[in-house]
Every structure is written in structure tokens, then in C-alpha cells.
Structure 1
Amino acid sequence: MTRFVDRPEFTDLVLGFEHTAFRLEVRDRYNEPSEAEVLHRFLSSGQLDDSYMSDWVEELGPRLAGGQRMDRVRVVSEPHSDYTRFGLALATYNTAAGEDIRYLPRHQAAGLDLPEHDFWLIDSTTLLILTFDDDDVLLGADLIDDPAVVVKHCYYRDVARRHAFPWIEYKTRVDLPESP
């Protein structure tokens, strides 16, 4: 069965993970209204205000230090979109909080049979397939409880992680400047 969950419930499900949370990101652009000002400043100056990520780091840092795990694989086009460059810079803070963020160039992902949709996999049992509007704004997610579909997404997670470069390696590979 599939059930649509709106943003507040979606956020609660993601942050409610007990052991692991994994996200596959396949879009070159995300239009998150709360990021608009920070993204604009980053694109014009190349600088990030670390206070933007402080709530995320405070929320997740102790949980991840205590043994919970949050991973992401970002499938990215090269050359990078503006949003991908922004995400690479933000990863400084995500990884400092303990997240494992990896990058998979789109041309390398092409032969891996990965899905073309973003998803969160929570504790390897709960699947959230993200839904966006035509302007790339996140609307919520389809909550999937079909065990076969969940297991297939566990497979996607494992394949993506195996082939992706850890953020620290990827940022060196693509010759990104050091973060602030």
C-alpha cells in the first residue's frame, strides 16, 4: 500500500529513524524555499553562513556520534549545477555532524540501474519516495510499505554506496576549494 505524507509528517518520519537513514538524491536542482536566501548568497559570494546548518548539526550530531547512521548518495551531473555546488559546500557541515555523504557522477550511475527518483530509506524498513512539483519544490513523499519494494530500494542503496565517492575524496577529485 502507498500513502502520501505531507512535509511535516515526512520530516517526522525521517528524523524518527532509530538506527539508519539513507537518502538517494538524483536531481540537479532542489527549490527549497527555506534555502533561497542562503543559496543566493552562496552563488553570489561563494561563502556560507554556518549558522544556517547549526540546527541540523545540533539535532543530528549527538545521535550520529552515539551510533545512529545517516548516509546520502548524490547522483550529480558534471559540470555541476548551481545547486550541486551549494550542496557540496553544505556537505562540510553535514559531514562534521557525522553524516556519510557520497557523490556518484551521473555518467557512472547510468549503467547501475538506479531509480530516477529521490528516496529516503529509514531503518531499512520504511521507504519514502519524494514528490516534487514542477518547480522542484518538495511536496512530501509516498510512504511505501510493500516489502518487495522496500527490499529493492535497500539494493539501490547498497549499489549506490558501493560506487559513489566519499565527499572528502570527491571534493578533491573535482578540485573544489577548501570550505570556510
Structure 2
Amino acid sequence: MPQRPPAPSFEELLDSAQAHALHLELRDVYAVGEEREVYDAFLRDGSVPADDSDYWSGWLPLVQRTVARGVKVRRARIVSEPVTDYIRFEHAITDANLRAGEQVRWLPRRRASTLALPGNDFWLIDDRIVRWNLFSGDGQALEPDHTDDPSAVKLCVEAFRSVWDLATDHADYRI
């Protein structure tokens, strides 16, 4: 059986986008290793990384150049309330995402009860490819997966649209 190629990197995905790059986040806690120091600082004193810090060095320029080509980059987060410390951290750093050109909305989990949602976070590029962001039970990032299967793409298109339509814009979402 032929080995499946690895999931495209974020850079490959966003560089290939022509209309939109949509990201749905479903977890209340992430334990991504490269965030540990910044997250610990936030817990200690509420500090957030500056836009020109190493923390953002790969992501913000990638989003900026993607948006500059006319691609809409949207991120929707489904969160439990009251929110976890990690979601408070995400909320605090989201202004950097906005300055880079992302649009971000928040949906309280209680309002998502009737929505058909996939089992994992994902990025959807131009309604043609899905990159599944996979995590262990304790929030550690695992190897991502991807698909261009039409039924999976359709699920993600519909899920993102339904979440986006119900969600609150970042500027109006209070934690």
C-alpha cells in the first residue's frame, strides 16, 4: 500500500489559497510546546508577545502576505464558558491576529449544540482541502492529517459556515 504524503504545512496551505483559508478551533486547552514560555508568562503577569517577537515571526508575516493577495483568513473558536486560562490567553493575543488581517469570531459551546461539527480542529482552503489539526487528550500537538475527500470538505464547509454565522466578532466577545 502506498504511503500517504504528509499533510501540507501552514505555509504551503496559505500560499496555495486563492479565496479563503478558514480555521475552526474546538478545544478549550492546547499544550503546544512552542507556546509554553509565552503562555507561562501570560499566566504569571498577563503579558502577551509583541507582534515582532519570535513567537509571531513565522505566523504573522504569512497571514499578512496571504491577506495582501486578497485571501480571506478567518478563524472561529468554539469555547466553553466560563473560559479556561488557555482561552483567556488566546483571547488576549488575538489582537495580533487581527492586525495581521485575520478575522476572528468566538462561539460559546452551549450555542453550538445543534451544529454538525467534525471531531477535530481544521484548516479549510478554498473548499478543496482540509488539514486536520490533531491533538492528544492533554492538548499536545500530534502529526496533522489532510484530505480532499468531497464529503469531508463538505462537512467542514458547512460546519465553518454555521459556526461563523452564530459566532460573535472578537471585538464584541467578552470573557
Flag the 1:117–1:166 CA change in 2: closer, same or farther, 3 A: same
DSSP 3-state at the match of 2:172 = helix
Note the alpha carbon deviations across 1:10-37, whole angstroms, 9 max, x for none: 3344333322111110001111111000
TM-score, normalized by length of structure 2? Answer: 0.87
Q: Which letter does structure 1 place at the counterpart of 2:21?
A: A
Q: Which letter does structure 2 place at the counterpart of 1:90?
A: I
Alignment partner, residue 41 of structure 2: 41
What is the CA–CA distance in structure 1 between the aligned matches of 2:9 and 2:66, rounded to whole Å? Answer: 19
Alignment partner, residue 94 of structure 1: 97
Q: Which letter does structure 2 place at the counterpart of 1:70?
A: V
DSSP 3-state at the match of 1:108 = helix
Long gaps (5+) in structure 1: 175-180
Deviation at 1:141, TM superposition (A): 2.0
Q: Which letter does structure 1 place at the counterpart of 2:88?
A: R
Deviating above 4 A after TM superposition, structure 1's stretches of 4 or more consecutive aligned residues are: none
Alignment partner, residue 164 of structure 1: 167
Alignment partner, residue 5 of structure 1: 6
Q: Which letter does structure 1 place at the counterpart of 2:33?
A: P
C-alpha contact 1:29 1:81 (8 A) present in aligned 2: yes
What is the CA–CA distance in structure 2 between the aligned matches of 1:36 and 1:71, rounded to whole Å? Answer: 25
Which has the larger strand fraction?
A: 1
Over the matched positions of the two proteins, sequence identity in percent amounts to 35
Alignment partner, residue 67 of structure 1: 70
C-alpha contact 2:14 2:125 (8 A) present in aligned 1: no
1:17 maps onto 2:16 in alignment? yes
Q: Which letter does structure 2 place at the counterpart of 1:153?
A: C
Deviation at 1:126, TM superposition (A): 0.2
Deviation at 1:154, TM superposition (A): 0.7
Deviation at 1:41, TM superposition (A): 0.1
User: What is the Cα-based RMSD across aligned positions, in Å?
Assistant: 2.0
* Equivalent residue pairs, number: 169
C-alpha contact 1:64 1:70 (8 A) present in aligned 2: yes
Deviation at 1:3, TM superposition (A): 4.4
What is the CA–CA distance in structure 1 between the aligned matches of 2:11 and 2:60, rounded to whole Å? Answer: 17
1:105 maps onto 2:104 in alignment? no
Note the alpha carbon deviations across 1:68-116, whole angstroms, 9 max, x for none: 1111110001111111011101111001111011100000011222233
Flag the 1:71–1:36 CA change in 2: closer, same or farther, 3 A: same
Alignment partner, residue 143 of structure 2: 140
C-alpha contact 1:24 1:119 (8 A) present in aligned 2: yes
Note the alpha carbon deviations across 1:124-171, whole angstroms, 9 max, x for none: 100122221233111122211211221121111111110111111113
Flag the 1:164–1:46 CA change in 2: closer, same or farther, 3 A: same
Which has the larger helix fraction?
A: 1
Long gaps (5+) in structure 2: none
